[in-house]
Amino acid sequence: MGAPVPKCPIRPGDPCTLCHPGAHGPEDCGLVWLVMGDPELRDRLAEIRRGAAAS
């Protein structure tokens, strides 16, 4: 059994693919930091997550 694969908090349902250079996972991803630090983007992400959960 392999190591657990972290999920991308920006793309619901997708694994973390380390798409941001220098990131080791969602915990130090610059994209995650930017989205979570911007109230409008964070609200939009919440809408996307609700839509993904409903389908």
Residue pLDDT, tens place only, 9-54: 888 888 888 777 788 888 888 888 999 999 999 999 999 889 888 8
Is 30 part of a structural domain of the chain? yes
Structural domain harbouring 33: 25-55
Residues 6+ apart with CB under 8 A from 7: 13, 14, 15, 16, 26
pLDDT of residue 1: 66
Residue 31 lies in a domain: yes
Position 11 in a domain:
no
Reply yes or no on whether the pLDDT at 6 is more than 90.
Answer: no
Q: How many residues does the chain have?
A: 55
Per the domain annotation, does 53 fall within a domain?
yes
Q: Is the pLDDT higher at 8 or at 43?
A: 43
Show the beta-strand stretches assigned E in the chain: none
In this prediction the pTM is 0.70
Domain count, the chain: 1
Strand partners, 15: 7
> Residue 51 domain-assigned?
yes
CA angle centred on 24, ends 22 and 25, rounded to 5°: 125
Is 55 contained in some domain? yes
Q: What pLDDT is stored for residue 51 in this prediction?
A: 87
